[in-house]
């Protein structure tokens, strides 16, 4: 490989005893790594110029930045330090809405992606609210309704509806998210003639600093982290502690 410009797929897997389990392609993503060798320097004291006469490497630091361009739940979970929970489709009956609602109030239902909604008041003989008169569906996917005219009805109201399957992310529930990171990159100067696979054994993710919910441009989820030493692989000089590059055809 002479001139090079790398691009390729990024995969994440669990690290089990230094080996990756089944990997997941994260979709379109950008990865950068940074390596820093820390060193102590000594200046000689005999010339009057204090020239550097010796150095001692005191450690190696390795960091990375991964920008997810695909808004998959699993990618957001990494950026938000959370876990993905799968929720099956179902139905709700008797969900009690907040009391003392007035015209113009909005209500967030317990579930999202709703359909077949029916609202009733709490009179002895319940009255079914009329959509378009007493309330309207502000956003079915978001599970939001707007109260239009509750004056002649008895509160609190209750809701019954169906909801679709989804994935939820519980934010900041994981103190440490760590993955085996694999990149299969091609040299875009020469195309598929040059391929490189990079393995980073222990990529520990930090929470993202920012998510823009009112973006005016294409969004990406930028997550930084630290590459940790893998004690299972460090004993093998062909693997190293942080990772390795595999370069087919370079022999």
**77 vs 168: CA distance, rounded Å:** 9
Cα dihedral across residues 243, 80, 82, 10: positive or negative: negative
pLDDT at residue 1, as a whole number: 63
Q: Which residue has the tokens 């519980």?
A: 170
- Does residue 195 carry a pLDDT above 90? no
- Does residue 6 carry a pLDDT above 90? no
pLDDT band at 3 (very low <50, low <70, confident <90, very high): confident
Q: What is the pTM of this model?
A: 0.87
Question: Which residues are CB-neighbours of 124 under 8 A, at least 6 positions away?
Answer: none
**114 vs 122: CA distance, rounded Å:** 22
- Does residue 10 carry a pLDDT above 80? yes
Over residues 186-209, the mean pLDDT reads: 89
pLDDT band at 251 (very low <50, low <70, confident <90, very high): low
Over residues 92-117, the mean pLDDT reads: 97
Closest Cα partner for 15 from 159, 141, 189, 176?
Answer: 176
The strand pairing partners of 87, in sequence order, are: 166
Q: What value does the mean pLDDT of the chain take?
A: 94
Read off the tokens for 200: 């980073």
Q: Are 28 and 71 in contact (CB under 8 A)?
A: no
pLDDT band at 58 (very low <50, low <70, confident <90, very high): confident
More confident residue, 179 or 2: 179
Burial of 55 (0-12, 13-18, 19+ CB in 10 A): exposed
- Does residue 70 carry a pLDDT above 70? yes
What are the residue boundaries of the structural domains of the chain, listed by start? 6-43+54-84+170-246, 89-164
Over residues 81-107, the mean pLDDT reads: 97
**223 vs 31: CA distance, rounded Å:** 10
- Does residue 192 carry a pLDDT above 90? no
More confident residue, 3 or 236: 236
């Amino acid at each position: 490989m002479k001139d090079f410009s790398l691009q390729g797929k990024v995969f994440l897997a669990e690290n089990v005893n230094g080996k990756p389990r089944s990997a997941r392609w994260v979709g379109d993503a950008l990865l950068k790594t940074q390596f820093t060798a820390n060193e102590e320097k000594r200046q000689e004291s005999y010339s009057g110029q204090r020239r550097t006469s010796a150095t001692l490497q005191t450690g190696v630091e390795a960091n990375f930045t991964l920008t997810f361009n695909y808004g998959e739940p699993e990618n957001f979970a990494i950026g938000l330090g959370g876990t993905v929970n799968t929720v099956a489709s179902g139905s709700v009956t008797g969900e009690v809405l907040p009391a003392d609602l007035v015209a113009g109030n909005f209500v967030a239902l317990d579930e999202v992606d709703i359909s077949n909604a029916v609202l009733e008041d709490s009179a002895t003989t319940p009255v079914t609210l009329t959509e378009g008169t007493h309330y309207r569906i502000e956003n079915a996917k978001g599970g939001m309704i707007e109260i239009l005219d509750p004056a002649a009805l008895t509160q609190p109201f209750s809701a019954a509806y169906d909801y679709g399957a989804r994935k939820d992310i519980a934010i900041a529930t994981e103190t440490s998210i760590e993955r085996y990171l694999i990149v299969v990159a091609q040299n875009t100067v020469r195309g598929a003639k040059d391929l490189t696979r990079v393995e980073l054994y222990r990529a520990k993710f930090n929470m993202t600093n920012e998510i823009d919910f009112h973006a005016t441009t294409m969004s990406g989820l930028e997550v930084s982290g630290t590459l940790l030493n893998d004690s299972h692989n460090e004993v093998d000089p062909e693997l190293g502690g942080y990772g390795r590059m595999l370069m087919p055809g370079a022999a």
